[in-house]
Structure 1
Amino acid sequence: MTKQHANWSPYDNNGGTCVAIAGSDYCVIAADTRMSTGYSILSRDYSKSIICKADKAVLSSSGFQADVKALQKVLTSRHMIYQHQHNKQMSCPAMAQLLSNTLYYKRFFPYYAFNVLGGLDEEGKGCVFTYDAVGSYEKVGYSAQGSGSTLIMPFLDNQLKSPSPLLLPAQDSITPLSEAEAVDLVKTVFASATERDIYTGDKLEIMVLKADGARREVMDLRKD
C-alpha cells in the first residue's frame, strides 16, 4: 500500500462511493463502508463520513485513506482555531470554503481525497458542496464521488435534474424530494452501484441532517 506504485490510482486504498442530496429542510449524506485495494477487501465496516464540528455539516470522502485522514486532521485543527478566535462554530458554507482553501493549498502535491460536504445553511435549507482533488468546488442539489460515481450520477441527473447555475435569475438548487423519498433514492442508487462496482459494498451508512439534529441509518449491501 504505497502511493509510489507505478499503477497506483486514488481508489486503490479505499474505493467506495459517497452521495449527498439536499432538500428544503434536510440533507442526506451516504457512503458505503468497504475499504479495499485491488481485489482485496481490507475492511467491511469502515466509515467514510465524519460529522464536522461545524454546525450541521457532514464530510464524506473517498480516495487514498492516508490522505483522507490527514485532511480530516487539518480541518479539525483549523476549525478549533476558528472557534477560539470567533467564539462560535463554523457554518456549513464556511466549512465548504475552508475545505476548498485547504485542498487548493496542497494543489502541487494534492490530497488524493474526493469529497462531498453536506449540511444545512444559515436559512436551514439543505446544501451540498462537491469537490475535485485540488479544491475547485460547486454548490449543487446533489452529488456523487468515488469509484461508483460514474454509475450513480446519470441516474441522479435523470431523477432530479438540478437547474443550471448559469440561469438568470438564479434558481434554488435544492431537490424537490421529501426526506423519505431522498433516503429511498439513495438506497436504490447504492443497491444498483453495488452490483456493478467491486469497490462499493458491504454496508451503506446514511446520515440525515435536519434542524433538530442528525440521524444515522445503516443498510446492508452485497458482500461479494
Structure 2
Amino acid sequence: MTTRDFYGCNDYIQENRKHHFYPYADNGGTTMAIAGDDFVMIASDLRLPRGFNILTREQSKCFQLTPNTTLASTGCWADVLTLTKVIQARLTMYHHEHQDVMSTTAIAQLLSTLLYSRRFFPYYVDNILAGLDENGAGVVYHYDPVGHMEKLKFSAAGASVSQIQPLLDNQVGGLNMKDVKPPHMTKMLARQLIHDAFISAAERDINTGDGIIIHTITKDKQEEETVKLRRD
C-alpha cells in the first residue's frame, strides 16, 4: 500500500529534511616548529588530502613572509590561501609605507588581529608563526582559530598534533621527567626531532605523509630542505 492509498488523496507527504550549512573542508596536514638560541626550524608535510583522496603529494604548508619569518598553516586549504594572501598584502602595504620589513613580533600581532577580526566566521586554520625576534633568538607563536596566541619555544599543529606535541613536551620541554633538564637545542637535534616526529606520524595518520619540507631560519639566511616520507 502506498502513502497515497493510505490517506485516500493525491497529497504526498514527505518527511522533514534538515539542511546544514557547513562551508569548511578539512584538508589535513601537520606542522611543527622548534626554536633555538639563534635559529628556528619550522616544517610541514607535503600531503594535501580531502577525505580518503589525495589532491597532491607536493604541497608545502609553509609560507615565507619575510627573510626572518615563516608561517605554517593547516586546515581548510581555501582558508589557508585566503589568510596568507591577506597577510602578504598587509606586509606589502607596510613595506611601501615605511620602507622597511615588518618584524616577527609585529607580524605575530598582525596575524592575531586578522584572526580575531573574523571571530564570528573564523578561518578554519591552525597557525604556527616562526622567526627571529629583535635579539636574533628563535621564537614560535601558536594560534587558535580566533586569534589567541602563545609565545613558545616549540609547537605542533594539524592532523597529527596529538602524536607530535607529547613528543616535543618530553624531548624538548623536559616535561613529565623527574630530575631531567631540557637539552640544549641545536640545529642537528631540532632537525632529528622533526624528522623522527613526522616519520612516526606518517605511520599512523593517513592525513600526513609523502614528504617533509623544513625551513631553517638564521640571521644570515633561510634554508629549505625536503625529506621524503612514505607515500602509501
TM-score between the two structures when normalised by the length of structure 2:
0.85
Of 150-159 and 12-21, deviating more is: 12-21
Give the letter for the 2:38 counterpart: D
Measure, in 2, the Cα distance between the counterparts of 1:7 and 1:179.
46
Residues 9-28 of structure 1, C-alpha deviation per residue, up to 9 Å, x if partnerless? Answer: 96x44201000000000000
Measure, in 1, the Cα distance between the counterparts of 2:185 and 2:191.
9
Aligned to 1:103: 115
Measure, in 2, the Cα distance between the counterparts of 1:152 and 1:7.
32
Aligned to 2:12: none
Give the letter for the 2:211 counterpart: K
Give the letter for the 2:116 counterpart: Y
Shift of 1:6: 5.5
Residues 29-54 of structure 1, C-alpha deviation per residue, up to 9 Å, x if partnerless? Answer: 0000100011111110011111103x
SS in 2 for 1:42: strand
SS in 2 for 1:19: strand
CA spacing shift, 1:194–1:6, aligned 2, 3 Å: farther
Aligned to 1:168: none
Output aligned runs, 1:19-168, within 5 Å: 19-53=32-66, 55-161=67-173
Structure 2 residue 212 is the aligned partner of structure 1 residue 197: no
Structure 2 residue 191 is the aligned partner of structure 1 residue 178: no
Give the letter for the 1:103 counterpart: L
Greater Rg by CA: 2
Measure, in 2, the Cα distance between the counterparts of 1:22 and 1:37.
31
Shift of 1:176: 2.4
SS in 2 for 1:52: strand
Aligned to 1:188: 196
Cα pair 1:83 1:90 within 8 Å, conserved: yes
Aligned to 1:16: 29
Give the superposed CA RMSD. 1.9
CA spacing shift, 1:112–1:175, aligned 2, 3 Å: farther
Give the letter for the 1:184 counterpart: Q
Cα pair 1:203 1:219 within 8 Å, conserved: yes
| Aligned residues with identical type, % of pairs | 44
Of 80-89 and 127-136, deviating more is: 80-89
Measure, in 2, the Cα distance between the counterparts of 1:175 and 1:42.
39
Corresponding residue pairs, total: 208
Cα pair 1:92 1:120 within 8 Å, conserved: yes
Measure, in 2, the Cα distance between the counterparts of 1:176 and 1:20.
16
SS in 1 for 2:198: helix
Shift of 1:217: 0.7
Aligned to 1:220: 228
Measure, in 2, the Cα distance between the counterparts of 1:9 and 1:200.
23
SS in 1 for 2:224: strand
TM-score between the two structures when normalised by the length of structure 1:
0.88
